[in-house]
Amino acid sequence: MSAVTDKHWMLEQTTWKTVRETPYEVAVLPWGATEAHNYHLPYGTDNIEAAQVAAEAARRAWEAGARIVVLPVIPFGVNTGQLDIRFCLNMNPSTQAALLADIAHSLEVQGVKKLVIVNSHGGNDFRQMIRELQPKCGVFICAVNWWSCVDSKPYFDEPGDHAGELETSVMMSIAPHLVLPLSKAGEGRAKKFRVKGLREGWAWAPRQWTKVSDDTGTGNPRSATVEKGEKYFDAVSERISGLLVELSAANLDDMYE
């Protein structure tokens, strides 16, 4: 029988006695999506990434003295552009906002006044939800996208977007048992908008995924490696850990220099 390890910073792996005795400052909410990721990555990719980045960042922050707890991952993202792909399970932004409000309210009455969302899915955008919720809620809420909090260019030849080199490399490093050989992957070629402003990205509209990509990927995974994934995951965890340490120590009444 192996020894029980009580990870105080992982809510799902700790107990009431620990929770009762620990003065937690910051809750971390990993938020993913359930969706197809080319032919080689699993539907749970975003959830696995969000949970593992949050766990590793929190572990480091805990060891640096911060009082952090990682909540269970929310596995549903905004997938309105993928409704015609089986088991891309859409959760509308309005539903997400209601869910976020309920979690924030629970934390508020329990005296945990800081919440960090670690987002893993490009279709999720918590900024407007936080703007709306913040005046009604005594919890300070912020959001970070793990795939963009560290500049990916020095780490990858062609980071890509969905199931591309960056995401594939990270999955090869954190969940190798769930990644199929790259020979099974599609090219992840994304068709561009015909309209110039949308193509160039200074005008924006959501994309209709099945018209953009044949294999559901947008980004070429061919140059993905475990080593690239390990290095990037390490850099991302370190950066988010630093955020958690600072927030844990921050005085909410004195947030500006």
- Output 26 or 179, the one with its CB closest to Zn ion: 179
Alpha carbons 83 and 90: distance in angstroms, whole number:
7
Q: At closest approach, how far in Å is the CB of 55 from Zn ion?
A: 17
Alpha carbons 139 and 161: distance in angstroms, whole number:
32
Binding track over 45-64 against Zn ion, x by CB under 5 A: xx------------------
Alpha carbons 160 and 5: distance in angstroms, whole number:
38
Show the tokens assigned to 9: 């910073």
- Output 22 or 145, the one with its CB closest to Zn ion: 145
- Output 166 or 245, the one with its CB closest to Zn ion: 166
Cβ atoms of 116 and 103 within 8 Å: the answer is no
**Which amino acid appears at position 124 of this protein?**
N
Phi, psi of 115 (to 5 degrees): -135, 130
Total of residues contacting Zn ion (CB under 5 A): 2
- Output 45 or 220, the one with its CB closest to Zn ion: 45
Binding track over 17-46 against Zn ion, x by CB under 5 A: ----------------------------xx
Q: At closest approach, how far in Å is the CB of 161 from Zn ion?
A: 9
Q: At closest approach, how far in Å is the CB of 35 from Zn ion?
A: 7
**What are the strands of the beta sheet with 140-145, ordered from one edge?**
68-70, 26-31, 114-119, 140-145
Which residue's Cβ has the minimum distance to Zn ion? 46
Q: At closest approach, how far in Å is the CB of 84 from Zn ion?
A: 18
Q: At closest approach, how far in Å is the CB of 92 from Zn ion?
A: 19
- Output 220 or 248, the one with its CB closest to Zn ion: 220
112 Cβ neighbours under 8 A, 6+ residues apart: 24, 25, 26, 27, 69, 139
* DSSP E strand boundaries for the chain: 26-31, 68-70, 114-119, 140-145
- Output 25 or 35, the one with its CB closest to Zn ion: 35
Q: At closest approach, how far in Å is the CB of 30 from Zn ion?
A: 13
Q: Which residues bind Zn ion (CB under 5 A)?
A: 45-46
